[in-house]
Amino acid sequence: MEPRFQVETVHDREAYRNMVTVHYMLHQKNSVKALYAVGALLALCVWWTTANGDLTSIRALGTGLLTFAVLFLAIPYIDRFAARQVCARMLDRVVKGAKKSKTFGIPTRYRFYEDRLDASDSEGTIETPYSQVTDLVETQGYHLIFLQSGQCIVARKSDLTLGTPEELGPFLAEACGRPLRTYEMPA
């Protein structure tokens, strides 16, 4: 059986950045709602402390509301900063691990058949049925295929040697029985 699509990709820092960012932002990142809850709790603590027993104090209420307003406006920036920091640390670890295991910059060929996909590099070939796929994500330059094993197939769209990027996404969604999600990478 001939493959429908084939990609020959070298996993470089940009490929790993896409993988790490998508993995963290879609699979691991806590909801910003938790930060708002902590902010509300902090504002209540400020109000309680400022009130010093006089719970009807206008000064204490104003201080608590001001604290809540400042936190409410600052939380999206705090969340974005924290996410960037986490992703940068994760990327450094992944790249360091890939270099240590001598897989960084090594070409990998992915072939997509009707019933399975395979990955081949200098170590050999591994076949994976589409039933092992847990998530499909498309970024501007990559298709990311997350597997039950915890691995991720990072297929650079410009590296397709058989088929087109516009056809690969819908094919994978149908073959895996999962929706193809789109993620816009932060600048």
Q: What pLDDT, on the 0 to 100 scale, is given for residue 112?
A: 95
Structure confidence by residue, pLDDT tens digits, 137-162: 999 999 999 999 888 889 999 999 99
CA gyration radius, the chain? 23
Distance CA 26, CA 14 (A): 18
Q: Is the dihedral of CA 164, 165, 169, 170 positive or negative?
A: negative
Q: Is the pLDDT of residue 32 over 80?
A: no
Percent of the chain having pLDDT more than 90?
Answer: 39
DSSP 103: -
Q: Is the pLDDT of residue 34 over 90?
A: no
Bridge-based pairing of strands 5-10 and 133-138 is: unpaired
Structure confidence by residue, pLDDT tens digits, 76-128: 888 888 888 888 998 899 999 989 988 888 889 999 999 999 998 877 888 99
Q: What pLDDT, on the 0 to 100 scale, is given for residue 27?
A: 64
Q: What pLDDT, on the 0 to 100 scale, is given for residue 26?
A: 75
Q: Per the structure block, which two tokens stand in for 142?
A: 């990559």
Q: Angle, nearest 10°, between helix axes 58-100 and 13-23?
A: 140
What pTM does this model have? Answer: 0.76
The average pLDDT across 10-20 equals: 90
**Mean predicted lDDT score pLDDT of the chain:** 88
What domains lie within the chain, and their CATH numbers? 5-12+105-182 (2.30.29.150), 27-100 (no CATH)
Q: What pLDDT, on the 0 to 100 scale, is given for residue 77?
A: 85
